[in-house]
Amino acid sequence: MNSDQDNLPTCWTRPWQRNRGQACLFADPRDIGLAALSVSEDEIRRWHEAGWISEQAVTGELLHDYLVEEIEFIRDIARSGLADGQISSLLRDLGHREFSYNGNEVAFSFRYGWVQVAEPERPDFIEFISECAADEDDVPLDDLLRAEEILKKAIAARQPDGDEEE
């Protein structure tokens, strides 16, 4: 990795893992969970021997959400066509032995390494409206009037007993 790794664009953050201590109420029995993931016991054992998957994913009788995510994440990487050495190197960059990452949110960037989509910052609403109102050239008046109408309806819906603020 180069020095860009520490200077992520604001749309990305470093990946975070699900809380592994949190068991779920409706965990699948191991055989049913693995069948749903299209993963065999042989694959699980091989991935564990390679150091890619946790002991709990190999021995757990129930597959809790965080184990399902770990197995899915490793399954997708293992079936990517990369060589075992490449996979080991990529996983070593994550710095963990347990990989409870959401594969829909985590990706590998050739420039930044492992990344995850960052939660977008919510703009300050009042500041945004004020800027729009002040910008006479770019924001048509009818858009501002429509926004005012929407806001009035939202305020009215939140008023107790239907009292409208004027």
Name 30's Cβ contacts closer than 8 Å, sequence gap at least 6: 60, 61, 62, 63
Residues 43 and 93 in one domain: yes
Residues 84 and 133 in one domain: no
Q: Which of 57, 36, 33 is nearest to 45 (CA)?
A: 57
pLDDT at 139: 67
Specify if 119 maps to a domain.
no
pLDDT at 43: 97
Specify if 10 maps to a domain.
no
Specify if 1 maps to a domain.
no
Largest separation between any pair of C-alpha atoms in the chain: 69
Q: Which domain holds residue 145?
A: 125-162
- Taking CA atoms, 11 is separated from 61, 82, 109, 121, in Å, by 38, 27, 13, 9
Specify if 44 maps to a domain.
yes
**How many CB atoms neighbour CB 132 within 10 A?**
14
Specify if 40 maps to a domain.
yes
Q: How many domains does the chain have?
A: 2
- Say if pTM beats, i.e. exceeds, 0.85: no
Residues 86 and 29 in one domain: yes
pLDDT along the chain (166 residues), means of 10: 63 76 74 95 96 90 89 95 94 82 89 86 73 71 78 84 53
